[in-house]
Structure 1
Amino acid sequence: MSDPNSLISHLIELRSRILKALASVLVVFACLAYFANDLYQLLAMPLLRSLPENATMIATDVASPFFAPFKLTLVLSFFLAIPYVLYQVWGFIAPGLYRNEKKLVAPLLLSSTLLFYAGMAFAYFVVFPIAFAFFNSVAPEGVTVSTDISSYLNFVLKLFFAFGVSFEIPIAIILLCWTGVTDAKTLRQKRPYVVVGAFVVGMLLTPPDVISQTLLAIPMWLLFEVGVIVGGLYAGTRDEDLDEDEPEPSSPGSTPDKK
C-alpha cells in the first residue's frame, strides 16, 4: 500500500510546478501585452501583402479589435513559455525514471519543442504567403477580399498547430522504435505508403493547390526519414540500456531503487 504522506507530497509538488508553469505564461504575457497590436500586425503581414491595393482587414464584432490581439498575445505567451513549462514537467517526472529513460526523455523534450517552433516558422514564412496569394487570386471578379481579424486569427492558429504537430513526426517514430512497437526496417518497407500519406495529409491541411500541398508533404517525408534513422539508433541501444538498469536480485518483498 502506498504511503499517504508520500502521495500528498507528490500532489503538493505537482501543484507547485503547475503554478510555476502558469506564472511563467503570465510573466511572458505581461511583458508582451503592451505590444499586442504590433504582434497582430506582424502576424497579419503575410495576408496584408497579398491583398489587392487599398484592401484592408475588417472587424465585424465591436470587441474584436481588442480581443483578437489579446488572444494572440496569450497564445504566443504560452508558446514562448513552453521550454520552462516542459522543464517543470521534467522536474516532476525525472525522479521516477530509470537512467535509460532519462537519456531518452530529456533530449526528446528539447527536440520536440524545437521541432514545434520550426513547424510554426515554416508555416509563417513559407506556407502563408503562398496560401494567401492563392486564395486572393481565385476570388471572383467584383469581390473585394476583406478578411475579419478574428477569423484570420483562428485560421492561422489552427495552421500553426497543424504544422507544429506535423513536425513532431521524428519524435513519434523514435518513441515507437524505442518502445518496440515497430522498428526502422519495418518503417523503411512502408516508405511508399508514408509518402502517399504525407501528400494526403498535405492536401487536407493546406489550400487546394499542388504547391502548398507539396511544401508540407516533402518536409513530412524528410522528417519521417530522419525519425527512422534516429529511431533505429535509439532502438539499437535500448537493450543495452535496459540491461544496465536491470535491478540486482533482492530479498522478497523489497522494491528495487530507480537510478
Structure 2
Amino acid sequence: MTKNEKEGGFISHLTELRSRLIHSFIFLFVFFILSYFFAEYLYGFLVEPYAQAVKNDGTERRLIFTALQETFLTYLKVAFFASFFVTSPFILIQVWKFIAPGLYDHEKSAIMPYLAITPILFFLGGALVYYLIMPLAIKFFISFESSGLITNLPIQLEAKVNEYLSLIMKLIFAFGLSFQLPVVLSLLARVGVVDSEFLKKRRKYVVVIIFTAAAILTPPDPITQIGLAIPLLILYELSIFSVSLIEKKSKEDA
C-alpha cells in the first residue's frame, strides 16, 4: 500500500467518523427539543417515587425552587437526560457501524451480544433506582423530620426541584454504569486479561472495593449504599459464571 493510499484510507475513516458523530448529534438534538416540550410531564414521571413515598404520611408536600431560573434550568436538564437516555442505543449503533467493517466475522459475533445487553443492564439499574431505591431513600430521609417537641421548632423536608432531579439522575447513572460490570469483566476475559480463578481469588478484595465505590457514588445514607452494593455483588458472581462459560467455549473451540 502506497503512502497516498494510506492517507486516503485515513481520511476516509475520519470522514466516516465525522458523519457518524453528526448523525448522532442531530438525533440527540432533535430529541432534546422534543423532550423540552414535554419536560414538565417527564419531570412528573421522575418525581413519582417521591410522590408515592410521601403519599400517605398525612402531610401536605411540595417541591420548591429558590432561584428564578431554577425550574427552567431543571427542565433543560430533564430534556437532556431524556434525550440522552432515548438516543443512547442509536449512538451505540453508530459506533458499531464505524468499527464493524474493521472486524472479522468471529469478532463481530463475539461483540454483538454485549451491544445488546449493555442498554438492557443500564435500564435495569435505572429501574432499580426508580422503583425501589428512591422510595426507600426518601422514607429514610423523611424519618429525620421533627414535630418540634424536642427541637423547639418543627423540622420538615421541603425538597428543591433541582436538587431532587440531580439526586435521581446521579443515582440512575451510577446504578446504570455500575450494572455494566458483567460486560466489562466478560470483555476482559475474552482478551485474556482476567479469568474465573483470578476473579474468585480476589472476591474478598472486590467486596471492599464495591462497598467503597457505593459509598462514593451514592448519597451518604445506608439505603442507597447497600442498594447499590448488593446488586453489584450479585453481578460480580454472575460475571464469574459468565467468564467460566467463555473459558469453556474457548477450550471447546480450541
Fold conserved between structures, TM > 0.5: yes
Q: Unaligned regions of 5+ residues in structure 1, if any?
A: 244-259
Cα separation, 2, equivalents of 1:193 and 1:7? 44
- Given the alignment of the two structures, is residue 26 of structure 1 paired with residue 29 of structure 2, yes or no? yes
2:118 aligns to what? 112
Q: Which shows bigger deviation, 145-154 or 47-56? A: 47-56
Amino acid at match of 1:81: T
Q: Unaligned regions of 5+ residues in structure 2, if any?
A: 149-153
Distance of aligned partners of 1:7 and 1:239 in 2 relative to their CA distance in 1, 3 Å threshold: farther
Cα separation, 2, equivalents of 1:222 and 1:5? 49
Distance of aligned partners of 1:66 and 1:209 in 2 relative to their CA distance in 1, 3 Å threshold: closer
- Given the alignment of the two structures, is residue 152 of structure 1 paired with residue 152 of structure 2, yes or no? no
CA RMSD of aligned residues (A): 2.2
1:250 aligns to what? none
| Alignment map for 1:201-240 (pairs within 5 Å) | 201-238=213-250
Q: Work out the number of aligned pairs and report it.
A: 242
| Residue number among 60, 63, 79 corresponding to 2:66 in the alignment | 60
1:254 aligns to what? none
TM-score normalised by length of structure 2 = 0.86
Cα separation, 1, equivalents of 2:107 and 2:195? 18
| Residue number among 62, 74, 77 corresponding to 1:71 in the alignment | 77
2:129 aligns to what? 123
1:39 aligns to what? 42
2:144 aligns to what? 138
CA displacement, residues 5-59 of structure 1 (integer Å, 9 cap, x when unaligned): 2111111111111111112212323433321101101111222333461131111
Aligned residues of 1:202 and 1:214 also touching (Cα < 8 A): yes
CA displacement, residues 201-254 of structure 1 (integer Å, 9 cap, x when unaligned): 33444455544433322211111111111122224445777x8xxxxxxxxxxx
Amino acid at match of 1:216: L
Q: Which shows bigger deviation, 91-100 or 27-36? A: 27-36
